[in-house]
Structure 1
C-alpha cells in the first residue's frame, strides 16, 4: 500500500502517533535519538501532553523545534461545565509555564493576533477571542494587550504575516500571541483540546492551505500559538466509525459468555475502549479488519481522495464551542497577565 503523508493535523502528539504507527525500527530510532522528549499525564480529567523537540527531533517528526503543550478532556461535551472549568484551570497554568522565561511587567506590550475568517464558524476562534478580549479590556482597562484580527488572505489580498510583521515593527511588543483554529486527524479531539506552542504557526496548514509563518524567526520577538482543533478530514470520520464497529462486534463476541452479557436486563452496551482482539471479527470482515487504525485511514485516504471532492467535517454545535473557547481563552489571558505583571 502506498505510503501517505499525514499532513492534515496541527497537533504535535498526533504527529508522534504517526511515527509510532510506522515500523518498529523507526520507532526505536526515534526513542534513541533523544530528539523528542515526550511526557504524558493526567490532571483530574485533563490529559496533559508535553513534547520538547530539538533540531534532531524536528527532522524526525516534521515539526518545528520548540515546546508543545496539549490539553485534552476526552469526555468533554457541550454541557460539561466541570470539564470546561478544569480545562480552563489547566490552560491558565500552562500558558504561564510556557512563558516563565519571558519577563513581563506593567510596561510590557503583548500583541494578540486573532487568526481566521470570522464568516466561517469553525475558523472564527481567533476573531471571536479578539472580540471577547476587547469587551473585557474596556471594562478592566488592561493596557498590556494590543488586539488585532487581520482577517484572511482571501479577504484582504495580502499575506496575514505581512500585516502582523508590520504591526510588530510599529509597536515592538515583548510577546506575540497568535490564536487560531486547528485541524486534527482524530475525531475524538474535535473541540476538546487546546494546544500551546512557542514555535509560532503556519495559518491554514492543517487543511492544506499553508500561508507564510508567524514565528520568532519572522517577527524577531517570541511568538506563542494557541489553537483549538475544530475540523477533521472526512476520511478520518469514516475510519474511526469503521474501527468502532469492528471493536464493538469483537467485544460482544469476546464477552458474550460472560456474566456481564448474560445477566443484562436491558440493551447490552459493550465497553470498546479496553483491549479488544480484532482477530475475532476476521472471519466476518476479512484481513483488513485486523489492520491498525492508521492503516485503514491510509486506505480511505487513497481511495476517497482519488476523487476531486474532499470534505472537511466540524461538529454541529461548533458555534457554541467557538463561544465557549473564545470566552475561556479571553478570561485566562487576562487573569494570566494580571498575575504576571503584579509579580514585579
Structure 2
C-alpha cells in the first residue's frame, strides 16, 4: 500500500478496497443520509480488522458535510444537529455526571487551532453547578473544558497535563477535539470523524504523542476530528494519476508512458515521489487558502454539536443565548 497518512477510518477502508478489490476483513460499515448530510459508520470488530485498519477496535463515524455548509447558517445548524445525534449515541452519562472537553492543538497555527477555538464556544457549567446550584436547572449537565496547548510551547506532554487534571476533578467522560490529516483533498475541511477509541495527538502529521484513551486515562474518551491538512506527497500522487489518465486518452505514446508507470512497484512509486519532493518540500502539509474562514465555520458546527449532545435538556436557540 502506498503509505499516505490519514486519520480517517473510512479512508483507510476505501484505500484497502481500491487496492485489493474486496472489502477489508473484520470491518462492518453502514451509511445513511439525513437531508444533505451523509453519515457513515465503520466498526472495527476484531483483531484482524484492527491490524488491517491500523486503528483500535471500536466505532468510527464519518459525517460528510455539504460543500456549501460554510456559507449557509441553516446548513451549519443541520450538521450540528446530526453531529449531536451521533455523539449522543456514544455518550453514556447521567445528568449529574461531569464531562470534560479537551481542545488539542496549537491556537497560533490556523489549521491546528480547531480544538482551542471549539473550547472557547462551549457551554461551561461545572463551576456554576458548584457555586450557584439553586440558579441552575437540574437538567443542566456539569461540563468543564481544557486547552492544554502543545509540547513545543508548554514543554509538557499533553497527556501529562490531561492526566493530572483528570486525577484532580475526576470527570466521567472526556471528549477530545483535534485537527486531522486526510489523503483525499475533497475531504479536507468537509468531513467530521467521531470515534469512541480515543486519539493519538499528532499522528496524522507524523508527530505522534502518547494516546488519550480509556486504557491510559481510566475513563471513556470520545474523539472528534476534522481533516484540515493533506500531505504534499498525496497531492503529487493524485496529480500524477490525473495526468496519466489524461495522457492515456490522448495518444498511444501517453498510453505506453501510463503503462510503464502503472507497472511500477508501489514502493518504488512512493520512493520516486518522496525523492523528488523531499529536497524542496520536506514533509510539507497543505491546507486550502481560505482556511481561516473555514476553521471559524467548523468551530461553530462542532461546538454547537457538542453543546446539544451534552445538554439535551436545552434547545440550540437556548444554548446560543447562553453562550452569547
Q: Report how many aligned residue pairs link the two structures.
A: 300
- Which range moves more in the overlay, 224-233 or 142-151? 142-151
Within a 5 Å distance, the mapping from 1:119-130 to structure 2 comes to: 119-130=108-119
Match of 2:167 in 1: 169
Q: Is the 8 A contact 1:196 1:227 kept in 2?
A: yes
Q: Which residue number in structure 1 is paired with residue 211 of structure 2?
A: 213
What stretches of structure 1 of length at least 5 have no aligned partner? Answer: 251-278
In the alignment, which residue of structure 2 is the partner of 1:56?
A: 48
Structure 2 residue aligned with 1:201, among 199, 202, 220? 199
Q: Secondary structure at the match of 2:148?
A: coil
1:317 counterpart residue number? 290
How far apart in 2 are the matches of 1:211 and 1:13?
22
CA drift of 1:328 comes to 1.6
**1:43 — aligned with what?**
34
Tell whether the 8 Å contact from 1:71 to 1:194 is kept in structure 2 after alignment: yes
> Does the Cα contact within 8 Å between 1:76 and 1:192 map onto a contact in 2?
no
Residue 133 in 1 paired to residue 122 in 2?
yes
Whole-angstrom distance in 2 between the partners of 1:46 and 1:240 = 26
Whether 2:258 is the aligned partner of 1:280: answer no
Closer, same or farther: CA 135–158 of 1 in aligned 2, 3 Å:
same
Q: Say if 1:340 and 1:169 are closer, same or farther in 2 by CA, change over 3 A.
A: farther
- Return the TM-score normalized by structure 2: 0.82
Question: What is the alpha-carbon distance in structure 2 between the residues aligned to residue 147 and residue 94 of structure 1?
Answer: 21
Compute the displacement of 1:282 (Å).
5.9
What is the match of residue 228 of structure 2?
230
Question: Where do 5+ consecutive residues of structure 2 fail to align?
Answer: 129-134, 316-324
Alignment of 1:16-35 (within 5 A): 16-24=13-21, 27=22, 30=24, 33=25, 35=26
Deviation of 1:81 after TM superposition, in Å, equals 4.0
Deviation per CA, 1:179-211: give whole Å up to 9, x if none: 000000111011101100001000000000000
Q: Deviations 1:10-63 (Å, cap 9, x if unpaired)?
A: 110111122113334xx36x3xx4x11012333322221111112321012211
Per the TM alignment, residue 240 of structure 1 is displaced from its structure 2 partner at its CA by 3.3
DSSP 3-state at the match of 2:80: helix
RMSD: 3.1
Compared CA separation, residues 306 and 332, structure 1 to 2 (3 A): closer
Work out the CA distance in 2 between the residues paired with 1:184 and 1:288: 29
Give the Å deviation of 1:83: 4.1
Match of 2:279 in 1: 307
For residues 287 and 67 of structure 1, do their structure 2 counterparts lie closer, same or farther at Cα, with a shift above 3 Å needed? farther
CA distance in 1, matches of 2:220, 2:229: 27
Q: Give the 3-state SS of the residue equivalent to 2:102 in structure 1.
A: strand
CA change 1:119–1:38 in 2 (3 A) is same
Q: Decide whether aligned partners of structure 1 residues 227 and 187 sit closer, same or farther in structure 2, where only a CA change above 3 A counts.
A: same
Match of 1:190 in 2: 188
In the TM superposition, what is the alpha-carbon distance from 1:163 to its structure 2 partner? 0.7
Residues 125, 142 of structure 2: 8 Å contact kept: no
C-alpha displacement of 1:149: 0.3
